A and B are shown apart, each in its own frame.
Chain A
Amino acid sequence: MSGFVLKRLGFAVITLIAVLTIVFFIVRILPGDPAMVILGDQASQQSIDLLRKRLGLDRPMIVQYFDFMSGVAIGDWGVSMVSGRPVISEVLKVLPATLELTFAALILGAVIGVPLGVWAAISRNTIVDYLLRLASLLGLSSPAFVSAVLLLFAFAIYLPWFPVISSGRGTSLGARMNDLALPAINLGLIMAAYITRVARSAMLEVLGQDYVRTAKAKGISFFAIIVRHCLRNTMIPVVTVVGLYLGILIGNSVLTEIVFNRPGLGRLIVGALFQRDYTMLQGMMVIYTLLVVVVNLLTDLTYGLIDPRIKYS
């Protein structure tokens, strides 16, 4: 077990280095000079050169690359060009708010999605199945900001149940939950749409297995078959998909944070975009890469918890 974890950790580090390398070079190979983008079209060549020097863009690309990578490794992600504070502390300040939203959405997505998927599977090719499939397709067709705007209108403006702006800074648990509710429902419903589909197809596969037929023949109640014999086996594809759709979840969380005006990584990255905060953008790339790699690692490790037959080797 520990050998496997070590091996996976090593693999995660390699992946991390690979993504950072790819993203670093994509940003630099593309036409467009950050210094020019930051200063605008009116800037003189002199000030552009000066800024390029300050950003270290005048050095050879390979030097910049090693500088960037060693900075990432020791936690020196540079200083925000706008606020003058270290990028890493700005990121860490808002990270909890984003994690809170993402976890809440994941839990909500699983709690709604898994039962619906199972329901669709056991009522295969009936009107229930058909409607559930259409609903989940509609859910995953909806861009997060479209559903967010619709939810905001329905439950914050038309029916003033929730705050229009969720500060995410409430002190009491109740206030925090109230702030979190609508954004989490928005993200959670989209996640549920994805999970319903996977849970349905995984369940269909399990229902066709011999051991399910045996269990039926033994006279075990339908409920017990589903819960004890099938559900656990449908969880592996569900967990895989949650890991795979992390990218979508992250993108959607950015949009959700914007609509609900909620502090978090999403608003940080958009703010950095419009203030041309180049170092901040680079730091955001690092943190998103870290998130992706860590979640992939966790996904792999979860398999063994769900299915003891999977040996870590």
Chain B
Amino acid sequence: MNPQDPIPKVVKVSYFRLTLAALASGLVNAFNTNKTSWVGLGLFLFICLMALLAPTIAPHDPLDQNIFDRLQGPSAKYWMGTDAYGRDILSRILYGSQISLIIGLVSISTALVIGTIIGLVAGYVGGKTDIIVMQVMDVLLAFPSLILGLIVVAMLGPSISNLIIAISLTAIPPFARIARAPTIVVKEREFIEAGRALGYSNLRLMGGHILPNILPEVLVMGFLWLATAIRVEASLAFIGLGVSPPTATWGGMIREGFENILDSFWLAFFPSIAILSVVFALNLLGDGLRDAIDPRLKGET
């Protein structure tokens, strides 16, 4: 290059858009490889739609007590029957889905961001930091998440935000682990070497060049852990540590229904089916995507 030549224009690359584009094409490929993930996605989106439309489509107010209609079986007026306070089960399930989805989505997004950063940095920095950080994560991973969630919620008190804190805390280690594994592979690749030679900062290399490569795996993990988060939230509510009544939560409804299981089975039955469908849909979705991304893991949990 001649010293007189104009300095070439630096092409500004939007890493965000690059990442998004890579992700979108990767996801569509993954979906097409394993068709069952489309079924899972469809079912999950349907449940999300029901949650969003709950105020419009719910036939009754979920908190409306009707003392003359208590403990009624499924009928034309109450499709899924009523509970001990005469509240409509169907409406409560519809509104309960909002709680499950909000707690699940927010806690898993939080855990995903924090866990990915921890794993990315640990893998990138390597050495002792890596060993110590990952050891701590492995240890936390071994601890039963329900017990940890239980203790945290018991200390903080049951509210939506505390449940989110408790569940994200238990979900950080798996994301750190899943983010670290590909990071230590990718960081040895030539383009990272090249970036380093060009004097890119570590932050730029991690955020702009390694992150887009590990994001698909992290996101697939996100779907599977969303399923777990919804299951844990329901379990905590069943134990009595959910969002306080009278707010409708699926776990709480099963807890109440369980008290009347001898004569009014529908109380516990319909919310059970609701939980089962959303968790199953997410597992179907995440499982298929993971098979597509990593064929070696086919069928493994």
A149 contacts B156, C-beta separation under 8 Å: no
The reply on A167 being an interface residue by CB < 8 A is no
Tell me, in angstroms, the Cα distance from A140 to B231 when the chains sit together. 10
Stretch at the interface among B75-83, B210-218, B274-282: B274-282
Give min CB distance, A27 to chain B, whole Å.
6
Query: Interface code A270-296, partner B: CB below 8 Å = 1, 0 otherwise?
Result: 100110000001001100110011001
Instruction: List residues of chain B with CB within 8 A of the CB of A245.
Output: 301
Closest Cβ of chain A: how far from B259's Cβ, in Å?
11
Chain A 229-261 interface mask (CB, 8 Å, partner B; 1/0): 000000001000100011110111011001100
Indicate with 1 or 0, residue by residue over B1-20, a CB within 8 angstroms of chain A CB atoms. 00000000000000000000
Nearest chain B CB to A140's CB is how many angstroms away?
7
- Closest approach, in angstroms, between the C-beta of B216 and any C-beta of chain A? 20
- Does chain B have a CB within 8 A of A198? yes
Residues B279 and A142 in contact, CB atoms below 8 Å apart: yes
Stretch from B55-63, B89-97, B235-243 contacting the other chain: B235-243
What residues on A are CB-neighbors of B148 within 8 Å?
23, 26
Inter-chain contact A141/B147, CB cutoff 8 Å: no
Whole-angstrom distance between the Cβ of A305 and the nearest chain B Cβ: 21
Contact assessment for B154 and A273 in the assembled complex, using a CB-CB cutoff below 8 Å: yes
Q: Are B139 and A18 in contact (CB under 8 A)?
A: yes
Q: Mark B237-280, 1 if CB is under 8 A from A, else 0.
A: 01111000000000100100010011001001100100110011
Give the interface size class of chain A: 35 or more
A197 on interface, CB distance cutoff 8 Å: yes
- A254 adjacent to B146 (CB under 8 Å): yes
Separation of A251 and B169 alpha carbons in the complex (Å): 16
- Closest residue on chain B to residue A142 by CB atoms: B276
A270 x B239 contact (CB < 8 A): yes
Min distance, Cβ A287 to any Cβ of chain B, angstroms: 10
In whole angstroms, what is the CA distance A173 to B143 when docked?
A: 33
Shortest Cβ distance from residue B264 to the other chain A in the assembled complex, whole angstroms: 11
Given known contacts A149-B258, A269-B150, is B238 in contact with A255 (CB within 8 Å)? Answer: yes
Q: Does B110 contact A (CB under 8 A)?
A: no
Please state if A204 and B299 are interface contacts (CB–CB under 8 Å): yes
* Complex CA–CA separation, A33 to B299 (angstroms): 45
Residue of B nearest to A129 (CB): B299
Asked whether, in the complex, the Cβ of B279 is within 8 Å of the Cβ of A241, the reply is no
Q: Is the CB of B254 within 8 A of A251?
A: no
Least Cβ distance of A144 to chain B in Å? 7
Interface residues of A (CB under 8 A from B): 15, 18-19, 22-23, 26-27, 30-32, 34, 37, 133, 137-138, 140-146, 149-150, 152-153, 157, 194, 197-198, 200-201, 204, 237, 241, 245-248, 250-252, 254-255, 258-259, 269-270, 273-274, 281, 284-285, 288-289, 292-293, 296
22 contacts between A and B (CB under 8 A): A19-B140, A22-B140, A23-B151, A30-B152, A137-B284, A140-B301, A141-B279, A142-B276, A145-B251, A145-B254, A149-B258, A157-B261, A157-B262, A201-B297, A201-B300, A204-B299, A250-B144, A259-B258, A270-B240, A285-B151, A293-B142, A296-B142
